A and B are shown apart, each in its own frame.
Chain A
Amino acid sequence: DQQVKQNSPSLSVQEGRISILNCDYTNSMFDYFLWYKKYPAEGPTFLISISSIKDKNEDGRFTVFLNKSAKHLSLHIVPSQPGDSAVYFCAATSGTYKYIFGTGTRLKVLA
C-alpha cells in the first residue's frame, strides 16, 4: 500500500511560470516531509523540507505547503527555469530516519 503518492507522473511548464508538484500521504503519523530533486544518472539531492508544525516553508524560488487535514503537500517553483527539469520525489517520515518516498513527478520546463 502506497503511503506516499505522487499522482502526476509528469508535468510540463513554460519557463518563467509557476510549477506546482503535488504529493498525498495516508499515514497520519508522518510529521516531517521532504522534497528531493533527481537529474538523470545522478543520485537524488535534498531540496526543501517542512515539519508538521508548520504549513509553509520557503527557500528562494521553492516553497513547500503542507495541509495536514487533507494529508497533502505541494512544492511550488517560481519562476520555473529550464535547469529545474528533473524528477521530483516527495518523502515522509514519522520522526525517524526511515523515509517513505513517492513515485516521483518528472518536470519539464520549456524554454
Chain B
Amino acid sequence: DAGITQSPRHKVTETGTPVTLRCHQTENHRYMYWYRQDPGHGLRLIHYSYGVKDTDKGEVSDGYSVSRSKTEDFLLTLESATSSQTSVYFCAISLGSGRASSTDTQYFGPGTRLTVL
C-alpha cells in the first residue's frame, strides 16, 4: 500500500468555522490531489499540487484553499465551512513521471469524513 495518511479521519464542525485537513505521504511522489466524494457525483477534483508551493484548481475549488510547503504534506483548508461541504474527502498521490500510465496512476488515502452542521 502506498504510504498515504489523512488526518483527521472524522470531523464534525459547525457552519462558519475554519477546517484544515491534512494529507501526508511517505512515497516522495511529486503530485498530490484533493477530491471530494458525494452521492451522485463520484469523485471530483478540488485542487492539486505538482510540487512544493505549486498548486492549481480542480473542478470544484470554490470555498477551498490548499498549501504544500513540503513534499510530503498537502493541506486542504475550508476557510468558513458550509453545510454543502459535508462530504468525504480523499487525498491522492501520483509519481508524476510525465504522463498517466499503468505505472504512474493515482493512489488514494483512506479518506476523511467531514460533517458541517
Measured as residues with beta carbon below 8 angstroms from the partner, the interface class of chain B is 20 to 34
* B interface list, Cβ under 8 A from A: 4, 31, 33, 35, 40-45, 48, 50, 58-59, 90, 92, 94, 96, 99-102, 105-111
Contact present for B100 and A93 (CB under 8 Å): yes
| Inter-chain contacts of A43 with B (CB < 8 A) | 4, 90, 92, 108-111
Other-chain contact of A44, B40, B41, B58, B90 (Cβ < 8 Å)? B90
Assess whether A26 is interfacial by the CB under 8 Å rule.
Answer: no
Measured as residues with beta carbon below 8 angstroms from the partner, the interface class of chain A is 20 to 34
| Inter-chain contacts of B90 with A (CB < 8 A) | 43-44
| Inter-chain contacts of A111 with B (CB < 8 A) | none
Bound-state CA distance A13–B89 (Å) is 30
Known: A42-B111, A43-B110, A44-B43. A98 touches B48 (CB 8 A): yes
Bound-state CA distance A52–B34 (Å) is 26
Bound-state CA distance A101–B36 (Å) is 11
Residue of B with least CB distance to A42 = B110
* A interface list, Cβ under 8 A from B: 4, 6, 32, 34, 36, 41-46, 49, 51, 89, 91, 93, 95-104
| Inter-chain contacts of A46 with B (CB < 8 A) | 105-107
Shortest beta-carbon distance from B80 to chain A in Å: 27
Residue of A with least CB distance to B38 = A103
Shortest beta-carbon distance from B43 to chain A in Å: 4
Contact present for B106 and A103 (CB under 8 Å): no
Contact present for B42 and A96 (CB under 8 Å): no
Shortest beta-carbon distance from A59 to chain B in Å: 9
| Inter-chain contacts of B109 with A (CB < 8 A) | 43
Bound-state CA distance A7–B48 (Å) is 27
Residue of B with least CB distance to A94 = B100
